[in-house]
Structure 1
Amino acid sequence: MPETIVLPPNASIIPHSLEKHGHIRTDNYYWLNNRENPEVVDYLNQENEYYQQSTAHTKDFQKELFEEMKARIKEDDESVPYFYNGYYYITRFEKGKDYPIHSRKKGNLQAKEEILFDCNEMAQGHAYFNLSGLSISEDNIWASFGVDTVSRRQYTIQIKNLITGEILPVKLENTTGGATWASDNKTLFYSRKDEVTLRADKIYKHKVGTTAEDDTLVYFEKDDTFDVSVYKSKSKKYIIINFSSTLTTEYQTVLSETPDAKFKVFQKRTRGLEYSMSHYGDHFYIVTNKDKATNFKLMKTPEAQTSKENWVDVIAHREDVLLEDIDIFKDYLVVSERADGLNKIRIIPWGGEGEYYLPFESETYMAYTTTNLDFDTPILRYGYQSLATPTSVIDFDMQTKQKTILKEQEVLSRDFDSKFDKNNYQEERIWSTATDGAKVPISMVYRKGMKKEGANPTLLYGYGSYGVTMDCHFSSVRLSLLDRGFIFAIAHIRGGEDLGRPWYENGKLLKKKNTFTDFIDCSKFLISEKYTSPSHLYAEGGSAGGLLMGAIVNISPELYHGVIAQVPFVDVVTTMLDETIPLTTGEYDEWGNPNVKKYYDYMLSYSPYDNVTAQNYPNMYIATGLHDSQVQYWEPVKWVAKLRVLKTDNNQLYLDTNMDAGHGGASGRYEAIKEIAKEYSFLLDLEGIKR
C-alpha cells in the first residue's frame, strides 16, 4: 500500500441532461468529452500525477519487472522466412532497438539481404509509430505501405520503388493502411476512412505516377453499418472488395489483369447471410451460414455462376463443430475447425481419399494456419502454442505427414535467473456451471506444486464479445506472475465463439448479461474449488473486456481484491447513441440500437458508467489512451470521476492515461512491456510481493 497519503483529484461536476424515450439521464462529467479542452487535459495530467505519486514506492519494482521481462525476449530475433513470388520475406529485430526491420532475399536464404523498411529509422521523432499493410506488386518492383504516427489507426499509404529505393512523393491520406496491387503492376486499390467516424467506407484506385487527387473512387458504401476492404485472391486471379457488417457480408470481384473493368457482385447482401469465399480452379469455395448453418458450412459454386442459388454443399453443417476458415492449395483443402472449444486442423486431398486431422493432445493449446501464400505446394505452415509451451512455427508436409519445427520461441533468462523449463508449469482445463446451467470452460496455468488451499493469487482474464475466441496463447512476460505464485486463468465466457457460434449468439444483444454472469460464476467456482479466495482473486479485461470489468465490479465487487481494466468500453448508452463516434453504427448488431426502447432499457441496465453506485469497490487500475479511436478516452475518465465520488471504500483507484497513444497502447517492442510492468506491479503490490 502507498507509504504516504496522496489525495486524488476530483473532476468538476457540471450536470448535463441526456434525454431518450422520455427518460432523462444526468451526466455530471459529460464535459470531459473534449480532448481539445485545456481543463480536460489538466484533469488527465492530475490523475496521472496522482497515479505516479501513489505508486512511487513500486517504481523500482516496476523497473525490475521490466528488465526481467525484457531479458526473456531474444533481442536479435527474426521471423521464420516465408516464400512468395520468388523472394523470401523476413521480419527481424536488432538488439536494443524497438521496431522491426522488414527485408527480403531473392531465390534462397543465402542471397544478399535487401532491406525494405527499417522502422527504427522511420520512427525517429515520433512518440508513436506503426507500419502496416506491406504489399508487393507481382513484378516485385513496388511496395505500398501504411504509416500511423498518432495511434488513431488513420494510416498514410506511400509507395516505394524497391529497385531504386525511392519513396514516391504521393501520400494517400486517411486510409486503413492496407492496399493490393493489380496484375498490371501499376494499379493500387485501397480503402479510405470517413474523417469523423473513421469507418472504412470508400475503395479508391491509384495509378503509379499520378497524384492522390487523380485517384478514382471505385465504390462508396452508404450504409453506415458496413465497412469495406479490398484484397487479392490467393490464386492472384481476382481483386476482391469485401463489404461487412456484424451479421451480413457481400463481395464484388474483378479480374486482376483488367483492373479498370467494372466490379461484379458475387452474391448481393442479404441481411443475416454471412459468407467468405476463396478461388480455386474454376470454382469459388464459400464458408457460409446459408440455410441456417449456425456453425457455418463449406459450399462451392462455378466461377461464372456465383449467386447463392448455385451454391452446393462440400462440408455440411454440424451442430457440434464450428467451421472457422479454409486454406486452399493446389492438391489439398485445409479446414480450420473448432470442437469442444479446441482448435482442429483437417487435411482433405482434392482427390477425395485419405482425409485426416493433425494430432493435438493438450486441452489448453491453440493451433492455427499461418502464412500460406504459395498455392502449388504440399507444405502447410501452422503455429502451435499453449499456456506453458512457447510458440512454434511448423512446416507440415501434407503428403508425407512429416512435420518440421522451423522455430520455437526462445525464452531467455538473466544469468542469475533459473532457465525457463515448460515442465515446471501445470496446465489445466476445468468447467464451471453458469447460473442457467451452461458449462463454461476455464483454462489455467500455474507452477507445479500449487496447493488448493484458497490462498493462491489468481488472475482471471475475460473478454466475451464480438464472437472473439480467447485461445490459450503463451506469454513469456506472464512468467513474472507465475513464478511468484500466481495462477493465470482464462474464462471462456459467452459472447465469444469459444464453443461455437451459439456461444456467441447467447452473449450479445438482449442476452449480453450472460457474459457478465458467466465470468462471475467462473470466479465463484475458482473460489469454491479453493484455487483462490476473494482476498486473492483479480480480474482483467480490455476494450469490450473492460466493459466486462465494469459490469462485474458493479454486480459482485466482493469477489475481487483487484481489477485491471484496459481501454474499457464503459459508457455504453451514451456512446451507442452518438453516431459520430467511430464504430458506433456498425455495432448495433452486437449491442443493440438504443434508439429502439427495448435495447435502450436493456443497455442502461448494465452500462457500467450508468450503474456506479454507493458501495465498496475492489482496488482498480484503469488504463486508456488519449487518441484511442476504438474506445474514446472519456469513457474510462468519466467512469473514474464518478467512482471517486460514489465508492465507499479506501481502496486504490488509479487512472493512467497515455497522452501519446491510442487503443493498442504504446508502440515499440519494449514500451509495451513497460505498460505490462505497471499492471503486474499493481497486482503484486496488493499481494505484498515486493520482489
Structure 2
Amino acid sequence: MTERLSAPRARQHPQARTHHGDTFMDPYEWLRNKESEEVISHLTAENAFTEQETAHLEPLRETIFQEIKSRTQESDLSVPTRKGQWWYYGRTVEGQQYGIQCRAPLSSVDDWTPPVLSPDAEVPGEQILFDGNAEAEGHEFFSLGSFDISRDGTRMLWATDVTGDERYTIRVRDLVSGETFADVIEGTAGGAELTPDGLGIIYTTVDEAWRPDTVWLHTIGGDVTAPTRLFHQPDERFWVGAGFCRSDRYLMIGQSSSITSEVLLLDSTDLLAEPRIVWPQVEGVEYSVDHAVIEGEDVLFIVHNDGALDFELVRVAAADPRGERTVVMPHTPGTRILDVDCFRDFTIVEYRREGLARMAKLDHATGSVDEVSFDEPLFAVGVSGNSEWAPQLIRFGYASFVTPGSVFDWNPVTDEKFLRKQQPVLGGYDPADYGQSRVWARAADGTEVPVSLVWKRSFGEPGATPRPVHLYGYGSYEHSIDPGFSSMRLSALDRGVIFAVAHVRGGGEMGRAWYEDGKLMAKKNTFTDFIAAGTHLVESGVTTPDRMVAEGGSAGGLLMGAVANLAPELFAGVLASVPFVDALTTILDPSLPLTVIEWDEWGDPLHNADVYEYMKSYTPYENVADGVAYPRILAVTSLNDTRVYYVEPAKWVARLRDVGADVLLKCEMVAGHGGVTGRYNSWRERAYELAWMFDVLGVAGASADAGGVGAGSADAGGVE
C-alpha cells in the first residue's frame, strides 16, 4: 500500500520588505526563484499532494469530461467570412486538439451569402492554410497568436507560442507557391499583421518588463535583424500597439495606460513618414479612433471621455483632427460608449446600457443612429468577422445564458437578421428548460449590485428551496461579465446547481462610474459587493453558505482571496485561477511585467504611503489570519504565466496551510496565463475543476439528465 503524502510545507525563510516605515517579514518570497531546483521540487510536491487528495474524484472527472464531449459536435466548421475573393473559415476534426484554418473561393464578386458547409461534405476548391495539429506536434504547449492574410490573398502570416509566455514567433508563407519565407521573427508581442500590399509585417516588441513598447516594420525578404522602427514609447506607464484601419488608409499606432491614451496616424502608402498625433496626450483622457470617408472627405470618428464620463462620439476632419468637432452621439450618463467600427457607408457603434452590451448603425448619409433590438432580457452581442470595407451584410455574434452562441448576418439597410449558425446542440438541448434572470443585492453603502442567475427549471425556481450555487466574480479593469452560453456549465446546471454572476464594482457593466467605484482607494467595494451578492442569495433562500462555491481568476482571483479573508463563513469552497493574491508585493516592484501601468488601477504603493497602507489592508497574502475557519480552497496556476506569476498562489497556499486551511495548489508546469491549450485538454481541465466544485457542493453524482443536454463545439462568451 502506497504511503499517503502529507501536505507540503514550504520552508520559511523570512525576508524583510520595508516601505514607508513599515516592515513586512515575508517567509515565502524565496519561492519566486523559478530556476531553483528547490522551488520546482516544491511545486511538484504540491501537484502530487493535490492529485492524491482529489484522486477519489477521477471517476467523476471522467464522467464530466465525457458529458462535455458528448454535447459537442467534434467535427465542425465555423461560418465562412468573406475577405477579397475568398471565404475563410475554421475546421475542427474529431479527436484533434487544434483548429484548422481553411478557405474556399467565392462563386462570384456579388456573393455575400456564406456557403453552408458540412463537416462530412467536400468543400469545392477548399485550401487548407494552417493546421494547428501539425504545427503543435512535439510541443506540450501550443498557442496560435496572430493570423493574417494579405488583401490579395497571396500571403499568410502566423505567429505561435510554444511555452505559454505570450512571446510569439512570426512566419510568412506564399499561398501561391506554398513556399514558407526564410523570415522568422522571434520574441514578438501579439497583434502582428501584414501591410495592405502584403510586402511587409507590422509587429511590436517588449521591453525588459515585457511591456509592448516598440512598433516595427519588416520588409519580407529583408534582414530580420534590421527592421525599421516606426515608433517607440519609453514611458513605462504606456503599452503600445498598431494596426491598419479597415479602409487600409492609415496605420494607427495606439499607446495607452489605464487612464490615458494617444493615437498616431501613418499613411499606409508612406509608412516611413513621421507619425501624426490625432489628439495630444492629456492625463486622464482616453480615446479611440477609426477612419471613414463621408462625401469624399477623410474623417475620423473618435470615442473619448474628455469631459464625458461615459464617453462621447465625435467626428473630425482627418486632415485637421484637432479642429472642429461634430458631436455624433453626445455623452449620456449611464450609456457607456465603447467603440466604433467604420465601413464605407455607415459605422457600427457599440455601447453599454442598463448592464448590457448594445449595437447601433450610424448612417453616414443621414447621421441617424438606430439601435439593433433583441428579444431576450439578458444577452451579449458584438460585431466580429467583418474585414470588407463595403459589405452588404454585417456579421455579429449573439448569445445569452440560455441561448447557444449564434452567428448572424445583418442587413443594415433592411434591418433583416439572418441566423447563419447556432452552436450545434447534441442530445436535445432546449433553451426553454433553463431560466435566466437578474436580481439586485444591496451593498453596505446602499448601492444596488446586479446579480445574474442561471438555472434548470426542473429543479424549481431560485428561492423555492435552497440549492447549490456557483457564484462567479471579477470586478477589475472595467471588464464586464456578459451573459454568455457555456456547454461546460451545463454539467453543473443539470445537477441542480444555480450559476450566478456578481457584477461587482470595478467591472464595467453599469458604466464608467461603476468602474471608478471599484478601483484605487475604492477597491474594497469590489470585495464587499461580492459578499453582498452572496449574502443576498442566502437571505433570499436561494442557497446556504454550506452549499455555495465562489470562483474568480486573475484579478478575480484577488477577489477570491480577499473574500476568503473577509467572509470565510459565507462559502463552502473557493476556486481561484491564476490568482493575483500577492498584489502588494507585485505592485511594489516596477521591474515586473505590468506593474507600472497597473498603478493607474491599484494605486502606487511604492511612492504613496496611503496607497501602501490601503493595499496592505486587503491584499490576500498579507491578511491570511490565524484562528479563521477558511473554506476549502483550490488554487490553479501555471509556471510560465507572465501576467500573474505562479509564485503568488504558491506563497498564498503556503501561508494558508500555516493556519490550518484545507487548501490545494495545482500548477501546470508547461502553460501560461490561459492555462492548458488544446480543446480536449481544456475540457479535462474544466472537468477537474467542476469535479472539485461538485464535491464541495455535495452534488458529486451523475448528471440528473445524463446525456440529455447539449451544446456546441465552442463556447460563446461568458464564464463557465
Q: Normalised by the shorter chain, which TM-score bucket?
A: over 0.9
Residue 665 (structure 1) aligned to one of 661, 675, 700 = 675
Amino acid paired to 1:84: K
Task: State the partner residue of 2:716.
Answer: none
Amino acid paired to 1:676: R
Task: State the partner residue of 1:539.
Answer: 550
Amino acid paired to 1:97: Q
Residue 381 (structure 2) aligned to one of 340, 351, 367 = 367
TM-fit CA distance, 1:687: 2.9
TM-fit CA distance, 1:453: 4.9
Q: How does 1:533-572 map to 2 (within 5 A)?
A: 533-572=544-583
Between 1 and 2, higher relative CO (CA 8 Å, sep ≥ 6) is seen in 2
Moved more, 147-156 or 322-331: 322-331
TM-fit CA distance, 1:454: 5.0
TM-fit CA distance, 1:398: 1.3
> Is the 1:145–1:178 Cα contact (8 Å) retained in structure 2?
no
Task: State the partner residue of 1:641.
Answer: 654
Change (3 A) 1:454 1:546: farther
- Secondary structure in 2 matching 1:606: coil
CA distance in 1, matches of 2:367, 2:206: 47
- Secondary structure in 1 matching 2:190: strand
CA distance in 2, matches of 1:655, 1:353: 56
Residue 115 (structure 1) aligned to one of 95, 118, 128 = 128
Task: State the partner residue of 1:434.
Answer: 443
Amino acid paired to 1:166: E
TM-fit CA distance, 1:111: 4.2
Residue 454 (structure 2) aligned to one of 445, 450, 454 = 445
Q: How does 1:427-506 map to 2 (within 5 A)?
A: 427-449=436-458, 450-451=460-461, 452-506=463-517
> Is the 1:92–1:100 Cα contact (8 Å) retained in structure 2?
yes
TM-fit CA distance, 1:327: 2.0
Deviation per CA, 1:58-77, whole angstroms, max 9, x where unpaired?
A: 11111111111122111111
- Secondary structure in 2 matching 1:197: coil
Task: State the partner residue of 1:222.
Answer: 234
Task: State the partner residue of 2:34.
Answer: 35
- Secondary structure in 1 matching 2:186: strand
Q: TM-score, with normalisation over the residues of structure 1?
A: 0.96
> Is the 2:303–2:340 Cα contact (8 Å) retained in structure 1?
no
Amino acid paired to 1:296: F
Residue 693 (structure 2) aligned to one of 678, 683, 686 = 683
Matched, 1:625 2:628: no
Amino acid paired to 2:162: T
Deviation per CA, 1:339-358, whole angstroms, max 9, x where unpaired?
A: 11012222232222764322
Task: State the partner residue of 2:711.
Answer: none
- Secondary structure in 2 matching 1:504: helix
CA distance in 1, matches of 2:169, 2:399: 34
Amino acid paired to 2:569: E
TM-fit CA distance, 1:158: 1.1
TM-fit CA distance, 1:325: 1.5
CA RMSD of aligned residues (A): 1.6
- Secondary structure in 2 matching 1:670: helix
Matched, 1:590 2:604: no
Task: State the partner residue of 1:416.
Answer: none
Moved more, 346-355 or 444-453: 346-355
Residue 141 (structure 2) aligned to one of 128, 149, 154 = 128
Q: How does 1:260-275 map to 2 (within 5 A)?
A: 260-275=272-287
CA distance in 2, matches of 1:385, 1:520: 28
> Is the 1:6–1:54 Cα contact (8 Å) retained in structure 2?
no
TM-fit CA distance, 1:184: 3.7
Task: State the partner residue of 1:306.
Answer: 321
Matched, 1:158 2:171: yes
- Secondary structure in 1 matching 2:654: helix
> Is the 2:183–2:220 Cα contact (8 Å) retained in structure 1?
no
TM-fit CA distance, 1:238: 0.9
CA distance in 2, matches of 1:289, 1:597: 32
Change (3 A) 1:384 1:141: same
TM-fit CA distance, 1:330: 2.3
Amino acid paired to 2:310: N
Change (3 A) 1:598 1:668: same
Moved more, 443-452 or 21-30: 443-452
CA distance in 2, matches of 1:96, 1:498: 38
Moved more, 625-634 or 108-117: 108-117
- Secondary structure in 2 matching 1:190: strand
User: Structure 2 stretches of 5 or more lacking a match?
Assistant: 108-114, 116-122, 703-720
Amino acid paired to 1:123: A
TM-fit CA distance, 1:253: 1.3
Matched, 1:185 2:194: no
> Is the 2:449–2:533 Cα contact (8 Å) retained in structure 1?
yes
- Secondary structure in 2 matching 1:343: strand
TM-fit CA distance, 1:165: 1.6
Q: TM-score, with normalisation over the residues of structure 2?
A: 0.92
> Is the 1:253–1:266 Cα contact (8 Å) retained in structure 2?
yes
Amino acid paired to 2:286: E
> Is the 1:621–1:654 Cα contact (8 Å) retained in structure 2?
yes
CA distance in 2, matches of 1:683, 1:510: 33
Change (3 A) 1:432 1:329: same
CA distance in 2, matches of 1:288, 1:489: 32
Task: State the partner residue of 2:159.
Answer: 146
Residue 263 (structure 2) aligned to one of 223, 228, 251 = 251
Task: State the partner residue of 2:24.
Answer: 25
Task: State the partner residue of 1:15.
Answer: 14
TM-fit CA distance, 1:81: 0.7
- Secondary structure in 2 matching 1:55: helix
> Is the 1:332–1:378 Cα contact (8 Å) retained in structure 2?
no
Moved more, 364-373 or 281-290: 281-290
Among the aligned pairs, what percent are the same residue? 37
CA distance in 2, matches of 1:214, 1:342: 47
> Is the 1:187–1:259 Cα contact (8 Å) retained in structure 2?
no
Amino acid paired to 2:496: G
User: Structure 1 stretches of 5 or more lacking a match?
Assistant: 414-418
CA distance in 1, matches of 2:635, 2:403: 30
- Secondary structure in 1 matching 2:52: helix
- Secondary structure in 1 matching 2:515: helix
> Is the 1:285–1:298 Cα contact (8 Å) retained in structure 2?
no
Moved more, 70-79 or 122-131: 70-79
Moved more, 177-186 or 147-156: 177-186
Report how many aligned residue pairs link the two structures. Answer: 679
TM-fit CA distance, 1:382: 1.2
> Is the 2:548–2:697 Cα contact (8 Å) retained in structure 1?
no
CA distance in 1, matches of 2:358, 2:24: 48
- Secondary structure in 2 matching 1:558: helix
Matched, 1:201 2:201: no
CA distance in 2, matches of 1:411, 1:516: 37
CA distance in 2, matches of 1:374, 1:206: 25
- Secondary structure in 2 matching 1:535: helix
CA distance in 2, matches of 1:430, 1:138: 48
Amino acid paired to 1:311: R
CA distance in 2, matches of 1:117, 1:69: 26
